[in-house]
Chain A
Amino acid sequence: MRKAELAMASVMGIFSLYLMWKSAELPIGWIPEEGPGGGAWPFWLSAIMLISCILIIVNWYRKKSPPSQSEEAFMDQGSMIAVGLVAGSLIFTVALFYVVGVYGALPLFMIFYVRFLGRHSWPVTAMMATASPVLTFFFFDILLKITLPKGLPIIEETIFYPLFKIFL
């Protein structure tokens, strides 16, 4: 936990410096007749972020904050696998939106989560994998008219155009 505290403060400190540099692409001082330049607000806020990160590192050195006193591991192997699998499956699902759309990716996500992570029975898995895209489609695409990603154009043309013709 101590190492993680230092690593996070250092990364955030570097990120603050980057933000200061990026903000300075616009004027950060006073412009006559216009007031503060466009970069002033984010620049000075990033400077305060940097000072905060330095103070977090000082507190880490003086062992003032609970994570800097902790000798525990930041994450054990089991937790890392559990969290990694979930985060990874989410990333994979969003990537699939480009190819098979929300309605192709959701059933796969449900099958992975409910069956393989949750170890529920196949009937429960099948119900979740079918109900979630159907309900989502009718609530968002049809009722609220919020068009969710459909994936490749061929999927939209062959599956969703006929559905829209029926329900809209």
Chain B
Amino acid sequence: MVEIVTQLWGGFLVAFEPLNLMLIILGCTVGLFIGAMPGLGSVNGVAILLPLTFLVPPTGAIIFLAAIYYGAMYGGAISSIMLGIPGASTAVATTFDGRPLAKLGMADKALTAAAVASFVGGSISVVLFTFFAPPLAHVALTFGAPEEFSLMMLAFATFVGLGGDDIPKTIFSICIGLVLSAVGLDIISGEPRLVFGDIPGFMHGINFLVLAIGIYGIGEMLWTVEENYKAGGKSMMSDATITVARTISNLKELMGTWKTALMGSFLGYFVGILPAAGATPGSLMSYGIAKQISKNPEKFGKGALDGVVAPEAANNAASTGSMLPMLTLGIPGSPTTAILLGGMVIWGLEPGPRLFTDHGDFVWGLIASLYAANLFAVIINIAFIPAFIWVLKLPFTLLAPIIFLLCLIGGYAPTRDMHDLWLMIIFGIVGYLMRKLDYPLAPAVLAIVLGPLAEPALRQSLLISNGEFSIFFNRPFSGPIMISALILLFLPLLKPLWNLVKKSKAKA
């Protein structure tokens, strides 16, 4: 313990060197704005700015990239809340309640909640990172394909069991998201699959952002255009304001969500450690569990503060967690850490257990910079909230074309294929029609994000068990998770039966 504290102190001395401190502040600010752009997330920020890091020493370089990573994780929530468009997959779950809060004129509350929850998630995870890195990495390695698939089933089952929406429509929404995620090349045989009309654009699959921006950007905006027309052009995007008194009251209300923040932080951190999982499943699972344990699950999706806190605490915690397997084992936990890993190799550092002994100043400098980046990111984020609120107060007919512009660029940027732009507009129009008919759309977005992870996990599990589904039930971690998922899945069927039993008892 004393040794860790001493090394951490040494790390702080490295992180607070003037050049490194400047890189932290610059990285957080750049990351915040990149993360806030629909279609761009931490992975884009880190990838785009990686070449710049060759101008500074390796420690400064990783500190800069880690700060961008943190800043972008904070920034992802901004477009989710303000525009209803998830900037990156990690911020999908923030849209579910962040956007309704903004529509209710409480964008300031949602933005403050996201910033504070991110700070809590980041702080807890970095402490866990400092003190419990090796044993947690060991537990994470026992998670195989069956456990990963069971976790994803639990996320889907939460929507069915506790979503409160029409059940056949929810199941339809989940399945269509999963099927759309299967478009492209079959991961095992390499053969083209579901390539509609032999159009080459489908060969690279359907990027989740195309569906997410289509549904939440274009579809949501078409819905708002209709509402705006019905209100005689008087409805605004949001009538939020921000004052010191409101901020204090928001912070007081946030105190009531501490349990959710803690749950999200621990869960996010652990899911982040899992190889090939990362912040996206972490934030979605955290949202699902927050809904499960909430006293008011019916408020979720309509502007519940816990619905913002849970995913934001989790995605920041997971972003720290995903650095653990990268540093200790050389296995990246997310696409962003994969790029960081590439950077480390270019700088001549070999990730793995020896990194902690051979390059202690580098590792501890990075860990200490995570503390600093977390603090600066929350300060910068909160400082910019009034500016974000001001943007929301623009007249709808000025804000709407800007949002459409961001949607078009956000849909094009990930693949740079015009095919995806057309697809996004189709998803937008179909999403708008489905929304009018009460089809829940969040499960579809969740499914297209988790689909590319769920299918290989299922296929690998069945291959291990030679086609026996019992593999999901007879393993120590997978079993309880899968049973919980099945209970949730059949909960809507059990509820009427339970009511019948209660009625017959009452009659007797």
Contacts and interface: CB of A to CB of B under 8 A. Distances in A.
B462 A35 contact: yes
Interface string A126-144: 0010001000100010001
A82 B226 contact: yes
A20 to B, nearest CB: 10
Contact of A90 (B226, B425, B459): B425
B400 interface: yes
Given A23-B193, A38-B189, A74-B436, A132 B175 contact: no
Contact of A23 (B194, B395, B398, B408): B194
Given A48-B171, A78-B229, A38 B193 contact: yes
Interface in B417-436: 418, 421-422, 425, 428-429, 432-434, 436
A118 B230 contact: no
A75 to B, nearest CB: 8
A82 B404 contact: no
A132 B191 contact: no
A131 B178 CA distance: 40
B245 interface: no
Interface of A: 1, 4-5, 8, 12, 19, 22-23, 25-26, 30, 34-36, 38-39, 41-42, 45-46, 48-49, 52-53, 55-56, 59, 65-67, 74-75, 78-79, 82-83, 86-87, 90-91, 93-94, 97-98, 102, 106, 109-110, 113-114, 117-120, 124, 128, 132, 136, 140, 144-149
A144 B412 CA distance: 14
A36 B48 contact: no
22 contacts: A1-B437, A5-B437, A8-B434, A25-B193, A26-B189, A26-B191, A34-B463, A35-B459, A38-B186, A41-B178, A41-B455, A42-B194, A45-B179, A46-B179, A65-B438, A79-B230, A109-B405, A113-B400, A113-B404, A124-B398, A140-B409, A147-B416
Contacts of B225: 82-83, 86
A120 B231 CA distance: 18
Contacts of B193: 23, 25-26, 38-39, 42
Given A4-B436, A65-B438, A94-B408, A56 B172 contact: yes
A124 B397 CA distance: 11
B222 A59 contact: no
Contacts, number: 171
Nearest to A76: B230
Contact of A45 (B175, B228, B463): B175
Nearest to B45: A144
A48 B416 CA distance: 33
A8 B168 contact: no
Contacts of B229: 78-79, 82-83
B175 A49 contact: yes
B477 to A, nearest CB: 22
The B interface, classified by DSSP as helix, strand, loop or mixed, is: helix
Interface of B: 34, 40, 44, 48, 166, 168-169, 171-172, 175-176, 178-179, 182, 186, 188-189, 191, 193-194, 196, 218, 221-222, 225-226, 228-230, 395, 397-398, 400-402, 404-405, 408-409, 412-413, 416, 418, 421-422, 425, 428-429, 432-434, 436-439, 455, 458-460, 462-463, 467
Contacts of B409: 102, 136, 140, 146, 148
B338 to A, nearest CB: 20
A128 B168 contact: no
Contact of A53 (B172, B189, B432): B172
A167 B11 CA distance: 39
A94 B422 CA distance: 8
A49 B229 CA distance: 34
A82 B396 CA distance: 14
A67 B186 CA distance: 38
Contact of B404 (A26, A109, A120): A109
A30 B194 contact: no
Contact of A120 (B176, B178, B398, B436): B398
B191 A110 contact: no
A114 to B, nearest CB: 6
Contacts of A4: 433, 436-437
Given A19-B194, A45-B178, A109 B401 contact: yes
A41 B188 CA distance: 12
B194 A79 contact: no
Minimum-distance CB pairs A-B, first 9: A118-B397, A38-B186, A35-B463, A55-B168, A52-B172, A82-B229, A113-B401, A52-B168, A42-B182
A79 B226 contact: yes
Contacts of A128: 398, 401
B222 A83 contact: yes
B401 A114 contact: yes
Contact of A36 (B412, B432, B459): B459
A79 B398 CA distance: 19
